[in-house]
Structure 1
Amino acid sequence: MMNRKWVLDHYPQGAATEDVWRLEEAPIAELHPGQILVKTQWLSLDPYMRGRISPGANYAAGVAPGGVMQGGGVGEVIASAHPGWKVGDLAESMEMGWQTHAVLSPDLPGSQATNRVPEGVPPQAALSWLGMPGLTAYVGLTEIGRPLPGETVVVSAASGAVGQIVGQIAKLMGARVIAIAGSEEKLNYCRDLGFDVAISHRDPQMAEKLTEACPQGIDVFWDNTGGHIHDVALSQLATRARAIICGRIAVVDKPASEDIGLRASARLIVTRARIEGLIVFDWWHKRAEAFRHLQQWQAEGHIRYREDVLEGFERMPEAFLRMMSGANLGKQLVRV
């Protein structure tokens, strides 16, 4: 049996292109005690992956040229040398990688662990609202943003995998929620989810419309993008505001010298605002708590979501570029 895998061919200079990866085949490794062999069904595309194909330092080790591209996935156990796992079980793991078969060690700790897909939900939910994006939204709001009833929350990339869940949890917490997104289809989707106002970041009057929507300022800013949206929102923070810096997809392909953003220190002094970066892997211990709430909310109809699915393992690079360009609506997935 052979394993097909996408490996990193070279580091991109600027924006990634499809030739950054190459498709290879290799024999599947033998199982050691405590390991399982999983046949991949679903693979996740997430903005953090851009940092994993850069040669510079990041919060986690990246992929070296020739290595299997990193990423999370869901698959079926087809062989087991682990007493707690049997053939037919469904597994989710951040260690899956871009490959058709993965040898996993379920007992690794933290974010490296392999987990069972919860019963009663579609398998791919473990990569979306009941996976890393859902955990990100939950801990970012409950541990960092902590919106109070009546406060105003602004979410950039609001129709994406994380943003769509952030907005709905913020509404459950009693906040007014403002969506920022890039197309009328995405803005309408956010309105349908219950966002109070939806504003296009392509609108030349975005700053003015944001001021109109937030006359007392922004209490909680969830930043999935960086760039112009980041600058505008920081200039409109309310007193004691909280800004959660979750992503920087708008500027990740630009030279570091261009990613200087707003010189916000004076504004931060005036508002006594707090800005905190969010890496979801720091909060992996909150998974059980987060997933308990998310499953309950989803069952009660409070959490809805969309998925953007491409069919076929060969389309992994295409799906990555689609996600990076913002062409997707909702969680970007590939059905292998």
Structure 2
Amino acid sequence: MNRESEIGDGKMEKAPPILPINHRFLEPEKAVKSITDMAIWEKSEAYMEYTGFIATLNEAIKGKPLSVDCKISNNVSKFVKLLEKIDKTIDEFPPIEQPQRFGNSAFRDWLVKVKQNSTEFLQEALHPQLHLAIPEIKVYLEESFGNATRIDYGTGHEMSFIMFLCCLYKIGALDVEDHVASVFFIFNKYLQIARRLQQTYRMEPAGSHGVWSLDDYQFVPFIWGSSQLIDQPRIYPPVKFLEDDVIDKYADEYMFLSCIKYIKEVKKGPFAEHSNQLWSISAVGSWSKINQGLIKMYKKEVLAKFPVVQHIMFGSLLPIRRFTIQQ
């Protein structure tokens, strides 16, 4: 039986905590307009919330395969269903015949449809007490799937979805008991949709650095995926992740191997040539070191890059204001 079909069966819906009566939601806006604004971003509440969120979920899934028996709340179920609706919408917009190889313009029509439906989808997924948050959080969801003008997808879009997840926690739609399921069910479903979009509409990588980047499209599933592999003797030493039989056997259990399998399916030629960074990582002696190294690399190669950060949206839940330690 597909575990997703069991989600939420017979679960009682839990009312979210009451938000502060004076909380005012804001439609998120871009705030990093120049290179000099990068220092504001790196000291902001949004930066601390976002990096802390990634670290918290990274710890929660350490050493756990995707099939682990974890709590799947009714709220998690609702967000998986929201993503399933978005996934099904792709069927309504098949690629059109066009001369250029990349960037099928049917993607634009698909994204228009998603934006038309996003408020309704979120109303169905969220407790009525939280509907006031929709104008703020829906922007992060809508920006998660790629750029309609360039028909591309990259780490900035991935970041937008993780910010969407983070906002769900901040408004009380998800809580600490949902940490593992948030990665293994919600984020993993999102990852499947992102791959389907890349393939269906031949999306360009956004801001790819070619073979010297970790991956053309994703980054965080390598972080969380390497955490899953810590203290897992079946895929040790890490160089085993390059072996086809290991990939085939464990790709459905570990996100890192799922990412490697996808790369091998869409790229031709020697792995060391088209994925040099991952090839280099395979020589590191432990998954714990790989995990910590990837977190550092993410902060340096994604979160510290103006071409990515200029597109980040800031609102009341992920504000650009300076982070201060509460007394």
Q: Which has the higher strand share?
A: 1
Same fold (TM > 0.5)? no
User: Higher RCO, 1 or 2 (CA under 8 Å, sep at least 6)?
Assistant: 2
TM-score (structure 2 length as normaliser): 0.24
Q: Which has the higher helix share?
A: 2
TM-score (structure 1 length as normaliser): 0.24
